[in-house]
Copies of this chain bind each other. A is one copy, B any other.
Amino acid sequence: MKVEIKKIAELIKGQIEGNPDLLIENISKIEEAKEGDISFLANPKYTPYIYTTGASAVIVSNDFVAEKPVKTTLIKVEDAYQAFSKLLRFIDGKDNRKGIETPSFIHSTSKIGKDVYIGAFVYIGENVIIEEGTKIYPGTYIGDNTKIGKNTKIFSNVSIYHDTVIGNEVTIHAGAVIGADGFGFAPGKSHYKKVPQIGNVIIEDYVEIGANTSIDRATLGSTIIGKGVKLDNFIQVAHNVEIGENTVIAAHTGISGSCKIGKNCMIGGQVGIAGHLKIGDNVKVGAQSGISKDIKDGEIVIGSPALPYRNFKKSSILFKNLSDLHDRITQLEKKLKEKSDQNG
């Protein structure tokens, strides 16, 4: 890109202090920026860099007051981080590919909307519906009867099993698997018998699903990922799980079958949640926790098994020097014995 600072200021509704005509070619971190770069300052920790940065322009908040001379051009905005994000989104939004590359495999019964991109080596099964503006990157597999909404983006080598329903403005990263069989087996005489998994997966609008994450289809009914949910990489969502709106889950977390997770939860990485539990709304779960009981709205838990945050914190500190407690007990026993001996 090559764009004048004044054009950027216009986009992010900022006031310029300095030269409005310099050309910006790149975006960088304030501590690494050089001529032609634009950067931003939101974290006070980085304030010293504003006096030394090589950036041609830096986005700062209106309340920023320089304590020393600043060489770079400033763009003052209400919220520097939000403004910078807006600029990034503007630049990032340039992915306007559309059309159908060859070879691809599209079953004749499928319906492909306007301005859809279908990459080479994409496979689209029977009766699939893909609505306008959606992009399917190369090597992705879409099973029969799947329905995908508008302006959704599915990256490369994703596998979407049959009967999946995906909303609008959804993003699914490479290698994700949506709708594989839930892990259901009934004990038989000599071996396990598979419990067929004939439900599906529903992914609502604005969901983002990380690379190589897997969401299993329901045994019956649907596994549901609510509107605006954000799932990081390598998350295991088992059959019949339901995740409420705007819940965010970090990498490597596993959610066992039939759990119902509320809205606006924040769940850390490598958390394990046992089957059939109910997690309330606005719950926070620390990384690596093991959840084996229901959790009420608004609770904050951590540990395996999970405890209220304060308990865990206190107990962890004592655990670190558990041998001190042990020594103190031994000491007490010794003293008490001495005393008994004396008294005896």
Beyond known contacts A212-B212, A336-B336: 16 more, CB 8 A cutoff? A27-B198, A82-B186, A85-B193, A85-B196, A88-B219, A103-B103, A139-B159, A159-B174, A174-B180, A183-B232, A232-B236, A236-B269, A270-B270, A332-B332, A336-B339, A339-B343
Q: Does A70 contact B (CB under 8 A)?
A: no
Minimum CB–CB distance from A286 to chain B (whole Å) comes to 9
Q: Does A150 contact B (CB under 8 A)?
A: no
Determine if A234 and B214 form an interchain contact, defined as CB atoms under 8 angstroms apart.
yes
Determine if A174 and B161 form an interchain contact, defined as CB atoms under 8 angstroms apart.
yes
Give CA–CA (A113, B141) in the complex, Å.
24
Chain B residues near A92 (CB-CB < 8 A) = 196-198
Give CA–CA (A123, B120) in the complex, Å.
7
Task: Using CB atoms and an 8 Å cutoff, list the residues of chain A in contact with chain B.
Answer: 27-29, 32, 81-82, 85, 88-89, 91-92, 101, 103, 105, 119-121, 123, 137-139, 141, 155-159, 161, 171, 173-175, 177, 180-181, 183, 185-186, 191-198, 206, 208, 210-212, 214, 216, 219-221, 227-228, 230, 232-234, 236, 238, 245-246, 248, 250-252, 254, 256, 269-270, 272, 274, 287-288, 290, 304-305, 307, 311, 314-316, 318-323, 325-326, 328-329, 332-333, 335-336, 339-340, 343
